[in-house]
Amino acid sequence: MEPIKTHERKVANIRDEAAYQPYDPTGKSETGTSFMQLNPHARRDVGFYIYRMEPGSHSMPHKHGGAEEFLMVEGELIDNDGTVYKPGDVIWLASGTEHTSHTETGCIVAVYAEAAEEPPSSPL
């Protein structure tokens, strides 16, 4: 078996600020959110990525283009219906689910998304 080549592996740490990029680079829809996606061939928001929210931040309202699963790594995340997710919770949201989330404490979430997010059908 051949050793793994440098271009075939990326390693990052969830505590490394330099590994994240702003989720909304314009700052128009979301502030205080960032993500880390290591696969250079994956579409943004599709596949596996780490999503980070600073205390007091919120996601923009969106609709899931495919199912989404996520693991709460740290902090708390609160959905617009009041559901609170805590560290260790594993969550599945069906394709077509519409929501927005916020955090008072800040949080780190490991996400797997089947498809990109879309604008919601109606205001939340």
Taking only the tens place, the pLDDT of each residue in 17-36 is: 999 999 987 778 888 999 99
Q: What is the pTM of this model?
A: 0.92
Could you give the CA distance from residue 71 to residue 78 in angstroms, rounded to a whole number?
14
Looking at the predicted structure, is the pLDDT value of residue 44 above 80? yes
Could you give the CA distance from residue 75 to residue 67 in angstroms, rounded to a whole number?
23
Per-residue pLDDT band for 114 (boundaries 50, 70, 90) equals: very high
Say what the pLDDT of residue 124 is: 61
Where on the phi/psi map is residue 19: left (φ > 0), alpha (ψ -120 to 50), or beta? alpha
Q: Is residue 101 within 8 Å of residue 78, measured between CB atoms?
A: yes
Say what the pLDDT of residue 29 is: 81
Complete domains list, the chain, with CATH: 30-118 (2.60.120.10)
Per-residue pLDDT band for 123 (boundaries 50, 70, 90) equals: low
Smallest CA-to-CA distance from 105 within 85, 122, 121 is with: 85
Say what the pLDDT of residue 122 is: 74
Looking at the predicted structure, is the pLDDT value of residue 117 above 70? yes
Tens digit of pLDDT for each residue in 46-85?
A: 999 999 999 999 999 999 999 999 999 999 999 999 999 9
